[in-house]
Amino acid sequence: MGSRIWVPGLCSGCKDDSQPGMRLSQVHHDAGAAPLYVCEPCIRGLEEPRPAHNAAAI
C-alpha cells in the first residue's frame, strides 16, 4: 500500500506524454543513466493480478 505521486513525463513504454505516470529506477546505458518513466496505463499493465494457482489458501 501507499500513495503514489503521479508526475507528467514521456512514457518509456508507449511514448505518450499526455498520461500521468511515475519515475521508476534508473536505467543504465553505456552512455550513462536515464530515468525510466512509465505512464499509469503502462504501470497497470505491468501490475497484472497474480495467477490464481499462486493464491495462498487461508
User: Binding to Zn ion by residue 42, rule CB under 5 A?
Assistant: yes
Residues 39 and 20: beta-carbon distance below 8 Å: yes
Cell numbers found for residue 13:
513504454
CB of residue 58 vs Zn ion: minimum separation in angstroms? 35
CB closer to Zn ion, 13 vs 20: 13
User: Binding to Zn ion by residue 9, rule CB under 5 A?
Assistant: no
User: Binding to Zn ion by residue 36, rule CB under 5 A?
Assistant: no
Residues 24 and 40: beta-carbon distance below 8 Å: no
Q: What is the DSSP letter of 10?
A: -
Q: Which residues bind Zn ion (CB under 5 A)?
A: 11, 13-14, 39, 42
